[in-house]
Structure 1
Amino acid sequence: MCSDCISERSGSVAAAEILRTRRKRGRTARGRSSKMSRLRTRLEPLGLQDLRWRCDPATLGFETTDEVRPLDGFVGQERGVSAIELALRISEPDYNVVVAGAAGTGRTSVTLDLLRKAAVARPASSDWCYLHSFREPDRPIAVELPAGKGPELAADLHELIEQCRADLPSLIDPDDGKHALPDIAMLAVGQRLAALRTKYAPIPGVVRHIDAIQENLSQRVKSSRAAEARSGAGALGPPIWTRFEANVFVTQDPAAGAPVVCEPNPTFPNLVGRIDYRPSPVGMDADFRSMRAGAIQRANGGYLVMNARDLLANRSAYGALKRALREGAVTVESPPDENAALPVAALRPEPIPLRIRVELIGDPGLYTLLRNRDEGVARLFTVKAEFTPSVDRTAPAIQAYASFIARSVRTHGLLRFSADAVARVIEEGAGLAEDRDRLTAQLGLVKDLLVESDATARARAQQTVRAVDVAEALDARGRRSDLIEEELQRLIDQGVVAIETDSKVVGQVNGLAVRELGDYAFARPTRITARTGPGFEGVLDIERQTHLSGPSHTKGVLTLEGYLLGKYGQRQPLALTARLTFEQTYGGVDGDSASSPELYAVLSSLGEVPIDQGIAVTGSVDQRGDVQAIGGVNEKVEGHFVVCKARGLTGHQGVIIPKANVRNLMLDPEVIDAVAAGKFHVWAVTSIDEGIELLTGVPAGQAQNDGTYPPESVHGRVQGRLAAYAENLERYGRPPQSSPNGRSRIAKTRRPAR
């Protein structure tokens, strides 16, 4: 046979082979398309009902808040309220309370309401006065009196002084030395002393003070120290009459019940009192009149409320509070300045017995933190009152929300709210709770929205706040805080920050990162890329190598190795080196919500299957490949939607989220409208297999009896690539071994055979 015939036959055979190959590929492609169609049927995008819960205004039962009874009480804080009420029923001294809850949950207002109701049912606390000690002038005497009697005692002693000035001129008039010194008992002042002694007979401390006054007057009359007596002042001391006075340290209203004191600035002097020093010829002087009460003394016999973090910021104040509670007494302490230029007189006032209930209000983890760091907290603060940040979205809770709105309208003088406006506010309550089945209990945030919605309606010259006003107030709130988000979006639009949304790329996926800006949070896609090759280093996170990875993110990356080992490392060693990174991020990265997109990028690189860049991904993953819930799901979906919208919605774009996060979806109405029009999608997955099929359009593949996967599946391709890596490494070298001293010993590389 001639060579031309051979060539012709060979060409015919080759053509036939190509044709068979094309037919086979066509059948394979149709098979894949059929499989993918079935996959898409099984993993349909979420329906509109899954993307947002809507409150129907018709179910509220009113037209405006004028028809709603204002809330009398609280919303969903039964656990915390019962704990506080328990502490109020117990009379033992150490049952102080730590109220733990997020700001805006009513932790302060509810606590104060409960305390004030309990205080009204209790008797008024005692007055306390400090009197001069004639025996020990540096140790003022503390005297307890019935409520309201402190000012009365001060007035009686003032009248006594005036009587002394009238009856004993020889003690104050330097020109009156020729008069005979009278007998005090025979003067009107003596009669007044007797009357005071009778009036205050039930109070031994006052009687002793009156006796001391009479004795002091008698001694001065008999001493013939005319100069001192006529001047009314000692050489080194204050005028004699001031020693007779009473310092009304604490006074209470007899009709007001027990005191409830809320100290906003718990510094040391504000808490335990202070001593006011005044200049004198010999230095800085002070006496019993210089003492001022602190919050502890004013709340004695009642309740003291403070913010825990403000208290802990003043270590000396915190220590003084613990000491007072532990000892059951409080002493005015105002340590003099050691660097003072002049000598300072020191006072040692008598302590006041303490009967008080303290409520510290703080963040949820504060009680645990205090117990772990301070063993005395467990004994002094026995009760923990927890305030929940959200409540179940039940019919009573919705009605309570409406009643709260009605109360706020009346309390703050707002315009009435229509039923649709109330429904929109309740929907926002579910959004703030990040759970469609719950409502936020941080009613302080809800109140702020009501005030802003009222301002919006007034600007439109409306008489009633409607849903459109609430929506506009929410938009305006976002615009006040979205400057950084706007700048980042501009960089994406200009291509400075590279984000692809309409192509397919191997080893690259759009993850979603939330950025927290105080009271504002937003998300944008972030390119996550993976490069793989043969080796034994495993999965290396570039962020971790550059110290930009937080512990949660590092844990998520290490989890990927466990998945790869369990999936592909059972038949042969896992001969893999992979590099993962967040492209164009220059700050810290934390959280494990990127672990599933990172795994998708690694699988795509190993299997050489391109990933649809129009689909962004979020979700944590465990070592078995199960996709787990994450935070910020609404911000992440909306963030990717904004980028896709700016470039034009194609109908193929969307976001993959964990199925466990479906209950957290309360998406913006604009996203809902795009989904309804078929221009955007949200998928919910439970496993890596479901996610990789959506991203690549290639079946993930199921393990066969021998542990292998179908060659054309994602897992089959990855398994084949890893087998090739292992074979190449076997030919070219061995993995690092450990030497006896624990150091790494690198094996020598064998040259390939020629």
Structure 2
Amino acid sequence: MPVTQLNASQLYHGCNPADLPFKTTATIEPLTGLIGQERAREAIEFAANIQAEGYNLYVMGEAGMGKKSLVGEFLTKYCAGRPDAKDWAYLHNFDIPQQPKALSLPAGDGAQLKLDIERVIKELQQQLPYAFDDEYYRGRLRAIEEASRQHRVRLFAALQAEADKQGVVLLRMEDGAYAFAAQHEGEPLSGEAFEDLPYAKKMETEEAIAKLQVDMQETLIEIHEWEHDTVNKITALNDQVALEVITRQIDFLRHAYPKSQLLQNYFDDMQFDIQRNIDMFLKNDERQEDVNIDNCLKRYQINLIVDNADLHGAPVVYLNQPNHQNLLGCVENMAMMGALVTDFTLIKAGALHRANGGFLIVDAEKLLEQPFAWEGLKAALKSSEIPLENLERTYSLVATVSLEPEPIPLSTKVILLGNRDLYYQLYEWDPEFAGLFKVLADLEDELPRTAETHMQMAKLIASTAMNEHLPALQQGAVALMIEYAARSINDGQQLSLHIGDMTDLLRESAYWTRKYQQAEITADAVNHAWQQRLQRVDRVRTVVYQQIQRQIIQLDVSGKRVGQVNGLSVLSIGGFHFGEPTRITASCRYGDDAIIDIEREVELGGNLHAKGVMILAAYLGSFYAADKPLSMAASIVFEQNYGEIDGDSATVAELCALLSAIAKIPLKQSMAITGSMNQFGQVQAIGGVNEKIEGFYDVCSLVGMTGTQGVIIPRSNMQHLMLKPEVRQSVENGLFHIYAIDDIADAITILTDHEVGVADEDGNYPEKTFNAAVAARLANWAELNKHDKDTSHEASD
């Protein structure tokens, strides 16, 4: 195919505003959801519906592609029709306090149970003191105590009567002990008086006292037994009174939650524990104003860690900070008297608890940045349980007694949001990843441009403007937004699906619209927003172009030079890309089949650039030295390049410079060229074609337009052209030229104005053609090489 000089209409794939069937976006129906993501949407639906182990989902796409929006859009509808998620709570384990029990309840029952237990505790707080202050209870208590007192009186009266008969008096000592002494007329005798008694009387009295002391011991034993029995009777009375009150309240709980056997057992334990610790509900003394209800509630209340009372359907949880604690929950500690203590009320839920029965959405990169979080998530997914562990205790960072809560069964689909590189790295380096995330939703980056997709994009723009509360867009503004969606990916036939970038441009356009007090976003506002965005990041480009203008960076845009050509590259700084013309030079000499890539030698050239140079060498040998040695040494360099270079888009330019150096035929410096090539000289598409063309155009404008300047591009890049208006206008006026080529011969023709020349059957090229000059010099070097070898052999002989 001959060289094509492009006209202005071929340089931009526009969107005609007249083809859009609306005046403003206010009159069109907004789009619900993203466009062009049917494949990913089907994958999300599959992952949500399949009920099998390991079918968690990885949503793949670059930042700003709308991964979260796509997942959220589907799950909002899907989860609304799913069964309600359960409430989850932990109960105090009265037998083993270090092992709290996990409890599941229907959605909303957890909050109700918490209220019911609080009501019961408060009722007991009021009713138990009242029951023990009731007159009926006090009467029964007095009867028990009076019976015990009277029995004691009777026993001591009988003992005193027997002592009186024996002439002995019963005494109560200061320390509370009892003693017997001889008496006279009712008064105890002193020790001296007792010694003055006749011997027989003393002996009789001592015998009587000894017998009475035995009777006293028996009496005291009987009194102790009666007092013990009295205590038992009082305890039984207290238990009976308390049991009536406690049972009445606990029965309320039993009847309210009959379906949960775990709760029924808990209520039994709770009743027994309240009876055993009834003093918690009673005043310690008259000065105490009230019972401490918080202590009672803390012991018997549930710890409701997940409350789904307000949720209808399955939960969807997005975790923004996926550290281990936020993901899996934790058991907190509190300081008390210089030590760290904990209990079941300090158990805190993680995102997996809140998402149980539904879906958990996590940013994969953020997850992997957090220590222990990724391993913790995998462990939970593999065991289908949510373990509650204290990392500090697990890794011996603190010495404290912690809890071992019962793990909660896990039934959650985890959705990771991440880019492609991270997915493939996980797949390659983590052997467990593929088994846990078996479903991939791969978002499309681009969408083919058609009338239908233009309208879909218009609806997406309309819905975004509405959701962001932005002014409506006029027809021309929407058309320009569509064109920028193509320009942003350097493809005139595709549309970018980068929703974040489109939304930012809308917001910025709305800013300028409001600043200039306009009611609707116009095409001028969109263009102004785009130009302002470029201007904010344009400093480096301006500096580079000024250095070229001042010849600090040397570049010729006119005249001819042997072995020198203008190549084109793209510099990327942050998110800004611009084209930079670069002088590429080649030198050659007689040598031993060596092409030196200077960039590679000094480690500034990447692997792809080295590949391009090797392809160049292969082409040179196969086309010009197929039947003889390539007796040439050459070097190729990007002049004044001080950074790394990679890619093969300069291969065509490098070959042109090298062939020019061999043939000693100069190349036009008014032209710049870009393109990769294969071993057969066919030119292939490259990236950044718009930035490269515009970069050379801008430099020519600064240095001075001559009307002969232009750029040579691969024909396969024509479909990508979305050039700015200044370039299109210059082409229209004949001041700038863009050529599309298919092979290296086309490039040589444009750059030299020489006929390239096609070899005949014997491999000879027509005289005075470019290829003839190349072949002649290579043949001369080959002859020199043969002569040198012959001379070497003769010398060795």
Alpha-carbon deviations, 1:717-752, whole Å to 9, x = none?
1111111222223334589xxxxxxxxxxx89979x
1:656 Cα shift?
0.8
What amino acid is the match of 1:201?
Answer: P
**In 2: Cα distance, 1:583 partner to 1:690 partner:** 25
Alpha-carbon deviations, 1:697-735, whole Å to 9, x = none?
112211111112223222211111111222223334589
1:424 Cα shift?
1.1
Alpha carbons 2:505, 2:530 under 8 Å: kept: yes
Alpha-carbon deviations, 1:169-214, whole Å to 9, x = none?
59999xx999955216534222111221221221122222211112
Q: Of residues 500, 522, 535 in structure 1, which corresponds to 2:591? A: 535
The answer to whether the aligner puts 1:156 opposite 2:138 as a matched pair is: no
What amino acid is the match of 1:163?
Answer: E
The answer to whether the aligner puts 1:191 opposite 2:248 as a matched pair is: yes
The answer to whether the aligner puts 1:206 opposite 2:263 as a matched pair is: yes
TM-score (structure 1 length as normaliser)? 0.87
SS in 1 for 2:391: coil
**In 2: Cα distance, 1:686 partner to 1:517 partner:** 31
Alpha-carbon deviations, 1:432-467, whole Å to 9, x = none?
232212111112211211121122222323222221
The answer to whether the aligner puts 1:464 opposite 2:520 as a matched pair is: yes
- Provide closer, same or farther for how the CA distance between residues 346 and 171 of structure 1 changes in structure 2, counting only shifts above 3 A: farther
Map 1:270-419 → 2, pairs under 5 A? 270-281=326-337, 283-336=339-392, 343-419=399-475
Alpha carbons 2:121, 2:296 under 8 Å: kept: no
Alpha carbons 1:506, 1:605 under 8 Å: kept: yes
TM-score (structure 2 length as normaliser)? 0.82
Alpha carbons 2:88, 2:104 under 8 Å: kept: yes
In the alignment, which residue of structure 2 is the partner of 1:496? 552
Q: Of residues 269, 293, 308 in structure 2, which corresponds to 1:252? A: 308
SS in 1 for 2:667: strand
In the alignment, which residue of structure 2 is the partner of 1:630? 686
In the alignment, which residue of structure 1 is the partner of 2:563? 507
**In 2: Cα distance, 1:292 partner to 1:733 partner:** 85
**In 2: Cα distance, 1:403 partner to 1:614 partner:** 45
Alpha-carbon deviations, 1:586-607, whole Å to 9, x = none?
1111111111111111101001
In the alignment, which residue of structure 2 is the partner of 1:60? 20
In the alignment, which residue of structure 1 is the partner of 2:538? 482
In the alignment, which residue of structure 1 is the partner of 2:607? 551
What amino acid is the match of 2:28?
Answer: V
Map 1:258-269 → 2, pairs under 5 A? 258-269=314-325
1:282 Cα shift?
6.0
SS in 2 for 1:433: coil
**In 2: Cα distance, 1:264 partner to 1:135 partner:** 39
Alpha-carbon deviations, 1:37-95, whole Å to 9, x = none?
xx9xx424112222101111111122222222211232111111111112222222422
What amino acid is the match of 1:198?
Answer: H
Alpha carbons 1:709, 1:716 under 8 Å: kept: yes
- Provide closer, same or farther for how the CA distance between residues 749 and 516 of structure 1 changes in structure 2, counting only shifts above 3 A: farther
**In 2: Cα distance, 1:112 partner to 1:516 partner:** 33
**In 1: Cα distance, 2:246 partner to 2:580 partner:** 86
Q: Of residues 656, 662, 666 in structure 1, which corresponds to 2:718? A: 662
Alpha carbons 2:243, 2:275 under 8 Å: kept: no
In the alignment, which residue of structure 2 is the partner of 1:242? 298
Alpha carbons 1:273, 1:334 under 8 Å: kept: no
1:109 Cα shift?
0.4
1:338 Cα shift?
7.9
The answer to whether the aligner puts 1:569 opposite 2:529 as a matched pair is: no
In the alignment, which residue of structure 2 is the partner of 1:445? 501
**In 2: Cα distance, 1:285 partner to 1:410 partner:** 53
**In 2: Cα distance, 1:588 partner to 1:170 partner:** 88
**In 2: Cα distance, 1:578 partner to 1:130 partner:** 78
Alpha-carbon deviations, 1:71-123, whole Å to 9, x = none?
12321111111111122222224221111112222221011110111110011
**In 2: Cα distance, 1:141 partner to 1:171 partner:** 33
**In 2: Cα distance, 1:183 partner to 1:331 partner:** 41
Alpha carbons 1:51, 1:665 under 8 Å: kept: yes
1:551 Cα shift?
0.9
What amino acid is the match of 2:603?
Answer: H
Alpha carbons 1:509, 1:527 under 8 Å: kept: yes
SS in 2 for 1:579: strand
1:244 Cα shift?
1.1
What amino acid is the match of 1:442?
Answer: H
Q: Which structure would you say has the larger RCO, counting Cα contacts within 8 Å and 6 or more residues apart?
A: 2
What amino acid is the match of 1:387?
Answer: L
SS in 2 for 1:84: helix
SS in 2 for 1:712: coil
In the alignment, which residue of structure 1 is the partner of 2:11? 51
**In 2: Cα distance, 1:718 partner to 1:353 partner:** 77
Q: How many corresponding residue pairs?
A: 690
The answer to whether the aligner puts 1:113 opposite 2:169 as a matched pair is: no
**In 2: Cα distance, 1:649 partner to 1:366 partner:** 47
In the alignment, which residue of structure 1 is the partner of 2:57? 97
What amino acid is the match of 1:205?
Answer: L
1:215 Cα shift?
2.0
**In 2: Cα distance, 1:92 partner to 1:554 partner:** 48
1:637 Cα shift?
0.4
Alpha carbons 1:127, 1:252 under 8 Å: kept: yes
**In 2: Cα distance, 1:324 partner to 1:338 partner:** 16
SS in 2 for 1:359: strand
**In 1: Cα distance, 2:717 partner to 2:482 partner:** 20
Alpha carbons 2:54, 2:436 under 8 Å: kept: yes
Q: Of residues 166, 172, 183 in structure 1, which corresponds to 2:126? A: 166
- Provide closer, same or farther for how the CA distance between residues 338 and 130 of structure 1 changes in structure 2, counting only shifts above 3 A: closer
**In 1: Cα distance, 2:402 partner to 2:131 partner:** 29
Alpha-carbon deviations, 1:263-291, whole Å to 9, x = none?
11111111101221111236211111111
**In 1: Cα distance, 2:247 partner to 2:123 partner:** 9
SS in 1 for 2:561: strand
Alpha carbons 1:336, 1:344 under 8 Å: kept: no
- Provide closer, same or farther for how the CA distance between residues 674 and 749 of structure 1 changes in structure 2, counting only shifts above 3 A: farther
Alpha carbons 1:283, 1:342 under 8 Å: kept: no
1:222 Cα shift?
11
Q: Of residues 768, 773, 781 in structure 2, which corresponds to 1:717? A: 773
Alpha carbons 2:111, 2:309 under 8 Å: kept: no
- Provide closer, same or farther for how the CA distance between residues 385 and 531 of structure 1 changes in structure 2, counting only shifts above 3 A: same
1:220 Cα shift?
4.1
**In 2: Cα distance, 1:576 partner to 1:227 partner:** 108
**In 2: Cα distance, 1:112 partner to 1:287 partner:** 37
What is the root-mean-square deviation of aligned Cα atoms in Å? 2.9
What amino acid is the match of 2:651?
Answer: S
Gaps of 5+ in 2: 146-230, 289-293
Instruction: Give the fraction of aligned pairs with identical amino acids, expressed as a percent.
Output: 36
1:645 Cα shift?
0.8
Alpha carbons 2:393, 2:399 under 8 Å: kept: no
Alpha carbons 1:508, 1:601 under 8 Å: kept: yes
**In 2: Cα distance, 1:750 partner to 1:459 partner:** 88
Q: Of residues 90, 98, 103 in structure 2, which corresponds to 1:138? A: 98
What amino acid is the match of 2:559?
Answer: S
**In 2: Cα distance, 1:437 partner to 1:585 partner:** 34
In the alignment, which residue of structure 1 is the partner of 2:670? 614
Structure of greater Rg: 2
1:321 Cα shift?
1.2
**In 2: Cα distance, 1:52 partner to 1:678 partner:** 17
In the alignment, which residue of structure 2 is the partner of 1:217? 274
**In 2: Cα distance, 1:280 partner to 1:339 partner:** 23
Q: Of residues 715, 734, 737 in structure 2, which corresponds to 1:678? A: 734
What amino acid is the match of 2:95?
Answer: R
In the alignment, which residue of structure 2 is the partner of 1:147? 107
